[in-house]
Structure 1
Amino acid sequence: MPMAWDEFRLVQAIADRGALAPAAAHLGINPSTAFRRLAAVEAELGARLFERHRSGYVPTPAGEAMAAAAARMEEEVARFDREVADRAQTPSGLLRVTAAATLVTDFLMPILGRFRARYRQVQIELVTSEEALNLSRRDADVALRATHDPPPNLVGRRLGTIAWAVYGPAREDADGETDSGDADWVSPSEAVAGGLFARFVAARAGPERVALRLNSVQGLCEAIVEGVGIGPLPCYRGDRLASLRRLSGPEPELAGSLWLLTHPDLRHAARVRAFMDHVAAEVAPLRPVLEGRQGDDPSSRVSARLEAVPGTPS
């Protein structure tokens, strides 16, 4: 009897994650069910698919072959989905979009709202993730990412530059200036952006002055507002808050490019094309905000509110 597709997916999930619990969570089943199903598959095949070690599940040659077959099957299914989607002429259906949390809360949500008002037949599934999802496997259809090196297997548009600067709370000392000379710092950890931000902070403050490290950029703003320390923030976030004060100009070494990316097989799909055109048109007038030019004059901070940007014409 041919092996069911679900059993191939189970073996692939365990091989990819190295353990039963995360594989079961990915598939939406409980670990005991995953354990029983794996035992049944191995019994049916008459071969062990994984070696059980303290460190996790390591695929045997048979397990590697089955996981590789599952990956090929998954790619064929994804390719079929893309071909079907490409035939649709009217923007409609489900659109999976992924972006980092800071881009979602401060930047993307108003744009999504205006896109949805314009294209009522498109339903959006937003995946907030700091890691790049696999667009080839349809984990997402479109990705909004800040990166210098977009993956070569994707296509898209460079929307602009995201500037970063150093910010502190807006409280002033007796001279009316914020004193950052001996201030504590908050810093993204080495795990964020390959350690780019951690190296930036380390070059300006000793380890004893780093009061807080975070494994994402999402909590940086809150920490700075609460007075935990000063630190780097994207200018589109820092310049819009009256509770923050910019302490430096845009730092060239922290600047990143904002990209809108999709899989080549999806670029002509009506819903994807409509979304990418819409986002590009909306971002164009926001470039001064993204590049930190709104914050050069502190009095212009309030004018940098992203919600105030009008929608694109129909």
Structure 2
Amino acid sequence: MDWDKLRIFHAVAEAGSFTRAGDILHLSQSAVSRQISSLEESLATKLFHRHARGLILTEQGELLFRTAHDVFAKLATVEGQLKDAKEKPSGELKVTTTVGLGSSWLTPRIREFLELYPDITVNLILADRELDLSMREADVAIRLRQPVQADLIQRRLLTVHYRIYGSPDYLKRYGMPMTPDEIGGHRLIVYGEEAPSVISDVNWLLDVGTDRPGARRPVLKVNNIYGLLLAVESGLGIGALPDYIVHGNSNLVQVLPDVPAPSFDAFFVYPEELRNSKRVTIFRDFLIRKVSEWRF
């Protein structure tokens, strides 16, 4: 099997079209199409169903793609290990975490890391779904729950606490609640049904200070932590937010600080095969240092 054709096939399968794959590979659409046709001819099987809106893998194409994806993931691992054999850490480090933690806490600290290690390129992938580290969708992750996969190395990074917040404008207009039961008289902002959650009762705010769980109705539901933050900042109402997203935010005021609130641990995670990677080690140590400097 021709490796060049296999590389092009893998790119097309991931992109879903000859044109997008060509842009990634810096080849023309016609050149990509010819290479795929040649590969199909050599294998005597169709790898794609052609449609006006794109390409869909055939059953045989799916089989080849899974195998090729695994091969290229292993090659990427070996390439990283070879680069790590150098005295000076270099190469790409793919880091993934949630949109909220990544945008509010991690991204502002990447500059310092890159100033320390200018030969490393960070590819930061922010997504509320968990990327598959074993398939090298990312090299390392900061997970807001403890991983259950046996083949992942994990280290507890920090403990995150929820607190109740409102904006100065909102509290000036509606007043500061002084007791838990007064929460019921305020406009509450909570998570939507499809919001990713690492705590069992993500909308615990609705039941603060009441003996009738589920009786309160929020003014807004939003399925993203950053959206919830912006809604509270805008003065729409009161919401529960994790401390990593509000630290140093002068547009928010903590409400009822003595009310018991959920907390959870976040973990730094990477696959076993990257145990000896210098890039992973220095990034892990950098994060541990930054967490110790900035207490949540």
Q: TM class by shorter-chain length? A: 0.7 to 0.9
Superposed, 1:124-273 pairs within 5 Å as 124-149=122-147, 151-170=149-168, 171-172=170-171, 177-178=176-177, 180-194=183-197, 199-200=202-203, 204=207, 209-214=218-223, 216-248=224-256, 249=259, 251-252=261-262, 255-273=263-281
State the distance in 2 between where 1:175 and 1:73 align. 60
State the distance in 1 between where 2:216 and 2:13 align. 42
| Sequence identity (%) | 25
Most deviating of 66-75 and 35-44: 35-44
Are 1:5 and 2:13 counterparts?
no
State the distance in 2 between where 1:191 and 1:57 align. 30
Contact persistence 2:190–2:240 (CA under 8 A)? yes
How far off its partner does 1:274 sit? Answer: 1.6
Most deviating of 223-232 and 238-247: 238-247
Pick closer, same or farther for the CA change 1:162–1:112 going to 2, 3 Å. same
Contact persistence 1:83–1:265 (CA under 8 A)? no
State the distance in 2 between where 1:25 and 1:250 align. 55
- Corresponding residue for residue 72 of structure 1: 70
Pick closer, same or farther for the CA change 1:232–1:176 going to 2, 3 Å. closer
Question: Number of paired residues?
Answer: 281
Contact persistence 2:206–2:216 (CA under 8 A)? no
Pick closer, same or farther for the CA change 1:139–1:237 going to 2, 3 Å. same
2:225 alignment partner, SS class: coil
Q: Which whole-Å deviations, capped at 9, do the CAs of 1:248-304 have from their partners, x for residues lacking one?
A: 53522xx221211222222322232122112112212434x2xxxxxxxxxxxxxxx
Contact persistence 2:159–2:264 (CA under 8 A)? yes
**Regions of 4+ moved over 4 Å:** 19-41, 50-59, 173-176, 194-199, 205-208
Q: Which whole-Å deviations, capped at 9, do the CAs of 1:138-191 have from their partners, x for residues lacking one?
A: 433322222233543221311121111232223435895245323333333333
State the distance in 1 between where 2:136 and 2:272 align. 12
Letter in 1 for 2:186: A
State the distance in 1 between where 2:200 and 2:27 align. 39
The runs of 5 or more residues in structure 2 that have no matched partner are 208-213
- Corresponding residue for residue 97 of structure 1: 95
State the distance in 2 between where 1:224 and 1:44 align. 60
How far off its partner does 1:203 sit? Answer: 5.2
Pick closer, same or farther for the CA change 1:5–1:53 going to 2, 3 Å. closer
Contact persistence 2:232–2:239 (CA under 8 A)? yes
Contact persistence 2:73–2:136 (CA under 8 A)? no
Letter in 2 for 1:83: Q
The runs of 5 or more residues in structure 1 that have no matched partner are 290-314
Contact persistence 1:98–1:144 (CA under 8 A)? yes
State the distance in 1 between where 2:251 and 2:88 align. 45
Q: Which whole-Å deviations, capped at 9, do the CAs of 1:112-153 have from their partners, x for residues lacking one?
A: 333333334433333333233333344333222222335432
1:106 alignment partner, SS class: helix
How far off its partner does 1:199 sit? Answer: 5.0
How far off its partner does 1:233 sit? Answer: 0.8
2:112 corresponds to which of 114, 117, 125: 114
Pick closer, same or farther for the CA change 1:112–1:28 going to 2, 3 Å. same
How far off its partner does 1:226 sit? Answer: 0.8
